[in-house]
A and B are shown apart, each in its own frame.
Chain A
Amino acid sequence: MRRQIPLLLTFLTGVAIIISFFIPHKPFNEVQDMLLDWTIIIAGFAMLLGIYSLLNKHITHIKRKDAGWGYSIILTSFFIGVFIVGIISAVRYKGYSLSPGSSLYYVYDYMVIPLSATMFSLLAFFIASAAYRAFRANKLNATLLLVAAVIVMLGRVPVVENAFFRFLTRFSDWFMFIPQMAAKRGIQIGVALGMFAMSLRIILGIERTYLQ
């Protein structure tokens, strides 16, 4: 029973979603919205589990004085600080804690966004280092990749305005729209079929790893 009930629920939910995709009439059209509401409620409670997991791990680090426990103190104290700021902002702005002018908005605007932007900007350096390795022309595949990349880069950002770069621009457009798009769509068709097969295995109860 421990396995059969979840499998039955999965089957019924899967079938209900498929039916609601093809039948727009009430009550079938409401199934998806209803399940989405349930997901939001469950996710809200699951967030409590997440917070418990995070704090439990770091408080244990601090108690044991594990390596790097100082970082755990910073994380825990910032968590408490932002939590308090969030509550105060929610009370002051009647639930809209991220209203412009609120303390939480200030934290978000001047701390979270710059930190995220910093991490994102690191991508430029990582792209350079990954490209260096990927474009080393020591194999046929890597050489083809290098040639394609150089053509596309020069075509997209022509250095000077002349017939050669105009040709490169047209060629890189053709390259992106025809061979690149064909390969991309081939992968996407494979992904779509893979998802379909996986969904069917889950609905029919063949795939059970997620139900351990």
Chain B
Amino acid sequence: MNILLVFLFLIQQTPDSLPVDTAQVTEIVRPAPPTNVIAKDTPNDAGGSISVEWDISADDGKGLKNVNLYNVYKSKTEEGKFDYVGTVGAARTSYDDQSVEKDNKGYYYIVKAQTKEGVESEPSNISSGKSQAQWFHHGRWAYLILGVIFTLFFVLYIRMAKGKKLFIRKIAGLDAVEDAVGRSTEMGRPVLFVPGIGLLSDIATIAALTILGKVAKKTAEYETRVIMPNYDPLVMSAAQEVVKQSYTEAGRPDSFNEKDIFYLTQDQFGYAAGVDGIMLREKPGAIFLQGIFYAEALILAETGHSVGAIQIAGTDRVTQLPFFISACDYTLIGEEMFAASSYLSRDPIMMGSIKGEDASKLVLIIVIMVGTVLGILGGLHLGLFENWFSNLINWFARG
């Protein structure tokens, strides 16, 4: 009984709320919502996407400075339930909703700012938008116009080249191909052709295969072995066919050995180690490093130099060119590599395409010079030139 009385006494004495000094008082501070939300079709796409844009919350980077994220919500009806679609960080003012199910149907969007503690603002204004697919990518006018001009130059020069002898400056690296193969033959050593670590879909690798065709024809004529370790099995298959055809054209199909054009590995440094090993064991008289190279470029070129081979390199990778220029006897710099097949074949139509390339280059030089003059005059804040310069830059930069 006494126990029951004590228990009832305790219940009576227990206050309804906890004492003030132990209370967990949490003040919920909502950030201001983003404003001017606009939903519109994402331009230059295949549909299925709506871009939502807004002005940042008054508490994003200023005011209460408590905005951490923006959450985007979507609904099929204006008054319907808004479902969450995505989040972007503070200071961002747009979101592309790529989960749009149906084109040409209106969807409604709101955006809420959110604090680090997860407190969301009141919703922004509601904005609706429809997605649509476009029939032309308006950001690519510059590519189209320049592409058409360049193609016209090529076609024009190819037509003009028929039956004419066109002049193209000497390319030392390509003139040295015959000397390099001849040197290998005299030394009784094979020729090593390294196509780099590009794939068959890379233009530089295709350019390398065209050079391989010319090199293989020379090795067939001189009865010298050509070795080609490959990084990509597709390049290997194509290279086998190219070399086989070159040997056939040279009248020595029986000298072709398919096993000399073989697959090595698709690991970058494994490939470098394998090619280095071949260089040290076979001691080739001439090494062709043609195609796409990355960090392994100098490892290969320096090992080739150490075995005393004459080296002709060529790549379109600007960052690797200094290594090749330092370590190799000849280097085909960028476009020279793509001109190799035309230069070596001396076919007038092929040479015409090189002339067309030069004419296109002239157009670009003129555009760059005009841009430079406009940029300088615009920099002096001469209103008209400033506008022209910014229009020129914007035309090239859009898309």
* Contact in complex: B206, A198 (CB < 8 Å): yes
Please, which residue of chain B has its CB at the minimum distance from the CB of A189? B364
* Contact in complex: B269, A209 (CB < 8 Å): no
B54 sits at the interface (CB 8 A) = no
Partner of A210, one of B206, B266, B302, B333: B206
Please, which residue of chain A has its CB at the minimum distance from the CB of B365? A189
- Which residues of chain A have C-beta atoms less than 8 A from B133's C-beta? 24-26
- Which residues of chain A have C-beta atoms less than 8 A from B299's C-beta? 119, 122-123, 126
* Contact in complex: B238, A210 (CB < 8 Å): yes
Partner of A190, one of B144, B269, B335: B335
* Contact in complex: A191, B259 (CB < 8 Å): no
* Contact in complex: A193, B335 (CB < 8 Å): yes
* Contact in complex: B262, A57 (CB < 8 Å): yes
Number of residues from A at the complex interface, CB < 8 A: 58
B134 sits at the interface (CB 8 A) = yes
B349 sits at the interface (CB 8 A) = yes
Please, which residue of chain A has its CB at the minimum distance from the CB of B207? A198
Please, which residue of chain A has its CB at the minimum distance from the CB of B261? A53
Q: How many A-B residue pairs have CB under 8 A?
A: 183
Smallest beta-carbon distance A144→chain B, Å: 13
* Contact in complex: B335, A200 (CB < 8 Å): no
- Which residues of chain A have C-beta atoms less than 8 A from B206's C-beta? 198, 202, 210
**Chain B: interface secondary structure?**
helix
* Contact in complex: A50, B263 (CB < 8 Å): yes
User: Chain A 3-27 against B: per-residue CB contact (8 Å), 1 yes, 0 no?
Assistant: 0000000000000000001111110
- Which residues of chain B have C-beta atoms less than 8 A from A122's C-beta? 299
B residues 200-239 touching A (CB-CB < 8 Å):
201, 203-204, 206-207, 209-210, 213, 230, 232-234, 236-238
* Contact in complex: B259, A56 (CB < 8 Å): yes
A34 sits at the interface (CB 8 A) = no
Stretch of A39-47, A83-91, A152-160, A161-169 with 4 or more beta carbons under 8 angstroms from chain B: A39-47
Smallest beta-carbon distance B217→chain A, Å: 10
Please, which residue of chain A has its CB at the minimum distance from the CB of B209? A210
Smallest beta-carbon distance B270→chain A, Å: 7
With A119-B272, A207-B341 as contacts: A126 and B135 at CB distance below 8 Å: no
* Contact in complex: A188, B318 (CB < 8 Å): yes
* Contact in complex: A195, B136 (CB < 8 Å): no
Which of B's residues lie within 8 Å of A, judged by CB?
A: 44-47, 133-137, 140, 143-144, 147, 150-151, 154, 158, 201, 203-204, 206-207, 209-210, 213, 230, 232-234, 236-238, 241-242, 244-246, 259, 262-264, 266-270, 272-273, 281, 295-296, 298-299, 301-303, 316, 318, 321, 323, 325-327, 333-339, 341-342, 349-350, 353-354, 356-357, 360-361, 364
Which of A's residues lie within 8 Å of B, judged by CB?
A: 21-26, 29, 39, 42-43, 46-51, 53-54, 56-57, 60, 67-68, 112, 115-116, 119-120, 122-123, 126-127, 129-131, 133-134, 184, 187-191, 193-202, 206-207, 209-210, 212
Q: List 8 A-B contacts (CB under 8 A).
A: A130-B326, A190-B333, A191-B338, A193-B335, A200-B154, A209-B213, A209-B242, A212-B241
